[in-house]
Chain A
Amino acid sequence: MLNDKSNVFNTDLFEALELGAMIDVAGAMACAALQRTESRGSHQRLDYPDRDDAEFLRHSLAHYSATDLPAIDYSDVTITRSQPAERVYGGAQE
């Protein structure tokens, strides 16, 4: 509930607005992650431990409409300098 009704530097109001935006972003992330059945970078899934470039070397796009959850769509990635590669650490590098 909004307690602060002021028109001047109302941080109560902007925190409420921020919360709305955060819920939107969180929903988009969760839905996109669920549909992305692979592991890539910080997106790690125990059920799909490997990267799947054939299916998911693409941007996830979330579209909100009247429904509660966003529809997930994909767009192509333009790779310039850094090619995707295996993420390896420590002794695995050699």
Chain B
Amino acid sequence: MSRRPYKAEPSKSGWWLEQPRYIRYMMREMSAAFIGVYALVLIAGLFRLSEGEAAYTEFLDAAKGPAGLIFAVIAMLFALYHTYTWFEVTPKAMPLVFAGKRLPGAIIVAAHWAGFVVVSAALWLLAGG
């Protein structure tokens, strides 16, 4: 026998640039960076809030400026992409069966978007909108 299988070395770091679906996947994963940073900012705000008015005002002043706005726009787009991808896969992860028939995924996804609108509107109203 003269077998000599050839094993190609796959790229360990740049593989996700090779196909659009991998790029979309990496975008989805990177949403966690923005969501994480945003959550940390909120936690910082919460902590400063607990330290008293002066500390909190300092925090608010530090968060002002165009950089914050740009970050907010990008982070919100990533967060929306996270929402989109998360809802898309929900019917796959948790298929619902009614009377022996699988509920169409589109209905589950639509129900999630309806919930999203309700929650977002409630938060907006809560903020005095």
Contact = CB atoms under 8 A, between A and B. Distances in A.
- A and B: partners? yes
Interface of A: 7-8
Contacts of B2: 7-8
Contacts of A7: 1-2
B3 interface: yes
A39 B8 CA distance: 58
Q: Is the interface of A mostly helix, strand, loop or mixed?
A: loop
A34 B3 CA distance: 46
Nearest to A6: B2
A8 B6 CA distance: 13
Interface in B1-23: 1-4
A7 B3 CA distance: 8
A92 B48 CA distance: 93
A11 to B, nearest CB: 15
A12 to B, nearest CB: 16
Nearest to A9: B3
Nearest to B4: A8
A39 to B, nearest CB: 48
Contacts of A8: 1-4
A8 B3 CA distance: 6
6 contacts: A7-B1, A7-B2, A8-B1, A8-B2, A8-B3, A8-B4
